[in-house]
Amino acid sequence: MAEVNGKSKRIFHEDFVLHSLRHTMLTRLGESGVDAFTIMRIAGHSSIVVSQRYIHPTPEALAKRLAVRY
């Protein structure tokens, strides 16, 4: 909490949770082309199935990948 005008204020919105940062990081890794096995190791998942949910590239990321390969 931070002091503002002598009152404690919450820095983060109430709905914000640390898991949001973790999810964002893993999603960004997936979007940047990191494979599911690497994400699994980084996140400490016990199953590749869990890690695959972070591999959902945006249309822009797909277009970028296709442009590099072809």
Both structure tokens of 34: 């990191």
46: exposed, middle or buried (Cβ count in 10 Å: 0-12, 13-18, 19+): exposed
Task: List the alpha helices (DSSP H) in 1-70.
Answer: 18-31, 36-43, 48-52, 59-69
pLDDT tens, the chain, 70 aa long? 445 555 555 665 666 677 888 889 998 898 888 889 999 999 999 999 988 888 877 788 778 778 865 5
Domain ranges of the chain: 17-69
The model's pTM is: 0.60
